Structures are given as C-alpha cells and as structure tokens.
Amino acid sequence: MKFATKMVAMLVAGLMFFSSPAVFAAGDNYATVNVAKLFDEYQKTKDNDATLQEEGTQKQKEKDALADEVRKMKDELELLNDDAKKAKQDAIDQKVRELQDFDLQVRRTLGEKRQAVIKEIFNDIDGVVQKYGQAKGYDYILNDRALLYQNKKFDITDKILEDLNKNYVKVKKS
C-alpha cells in the first residue's frame, strides 16, 4: 500500500471514529489541549533549552580552539623542509581526527541530553493532564492536533500550563 493511500485510509478511519455517535456519549465531559503549546511555554522547557544552549556555546568555543590549532599547524607546515613536513602532516591529521571525534561526541552527548529532557517534559505534561482530568472529572482530554475542528471553549491548555509551571516552580525550589 502506498504512503498516500495509507494516509487517506487513516484519515477516513479517524473521521469515522470521531463522527461516530458512540465515541462521545451524551453527558461525557471532554476537553482539548495543545500539547505543542504546553511543551513550548513550559518553563522547564525554556530553562533546559537555555542550559543546553549555554553548554553548546561552550563546546563550540572548545571546537573553535581545536580548529585554530589545526589552522596554525597548517600555516607552520608551509615553512618546514620536506622531512619535517611529513611529521607535521601526521600531527595535523591526528589533530583533525581529534576535532572530528570531539564534534561527533559533543553532538551525540547534547542530543542524548536533549532527548532525555524531552522525555521528562512529556512525562510531566502527561502527569499534569492526568491529574487535572481526574480532579475535574473529565472523561476525555484530547490532543488538539488530532482534531479537524474544535470549539475553543473545550481548550484547557492554559489551565494545564498554569498547573504545569506551578508544579515546576515547586520542584525547582525544593
């Protein structure tokens, strides 16, 4: 089955599901949240982005210093005789490998940290949505990205975001 055909099939199935009268029974209490907004405006996301940005800037300075060393070594290479050039070229090649390894390791480490933080943030969001839904008696809380239309009166994103940030401030102070 081609990708486009699969997408159409999934869309039709989704429309049938949400248009079915059995999906939401009369009296069901439901709401929607904008998970992307929760993620972006959550203070923990902002704090962690700033921390990772700072760490990335520091690592870039270290990378730039290594690159400067390579440039200086290449400049020195021009002034040497043929015998010394071979040894200097070997040293340059080694330094370039160090630079490449450093760059790869930094990207991997920062990527892993970012993934761990993202997972933690989504767990926080899920936990607050679960507690909020139970406390307010909701039967369903839906991600608004999965909806083709929604009435904004059902959007509780700002309430969830408020609780999310309150919990983060409490944990941060502890």
Highest mean pLDDT pick, 56-65, 76-85, 140-149: 56-65
Burial degree of 33 (CB within 10 A; 0-12, 13-18, 19+): buried
pLDDT of residue 170: 80
For residues 142 and 32, the answer to whether their CB atoms sit within 8 Å is yes
The pLDDT-based confidence of 133 (bands split at 50, 70, 90) is very high
Residue type, 44: K
Quote the CA–CA distance of 27 and 11 in Å, as a whole number.
26
Domain 29-173 falls in which CATH fold? Protein Binding, DinI Protein; Chain A (3.30.910)
Quote the CA–CA distance of 106 and 141 in Å, as a whole number.
39
Name the nearest CA neighbour of 117 among 20, 31, 45.
45
pLDDT over 60 (residue 2): no
pLDDT of residue 172: 77
pLDDT in tens, 78-127: 888 888 888 888 999 999 999 999 999 999 999 999 999 999 999 999 99
For residues 39 and 122, the answer to whether their CB atoms sit within 8 Å is yes
Quote the CA–CA distance of 143 and 105 in Å, as a whole number.
36
Quote the CA–CA distance of 24 and 150 in Å, as a whole number.
14
92 versus 7: the higher-pLDDT residue is 92
pLDDT over 90 (residue 161): yes
For residues 132 and 21, the answer to whether their CB atoms sit within 8 Å is no
Quote the CA–CA distance of 61 and 67 in Å, as a whole number.
10
Backbone angles phi, psi at 159, to 5 degrees: -65, -45
- What predicted TM-score, i.e. pTM, was given to this entire model? 0.73
Domain extents in the chain = 29-173
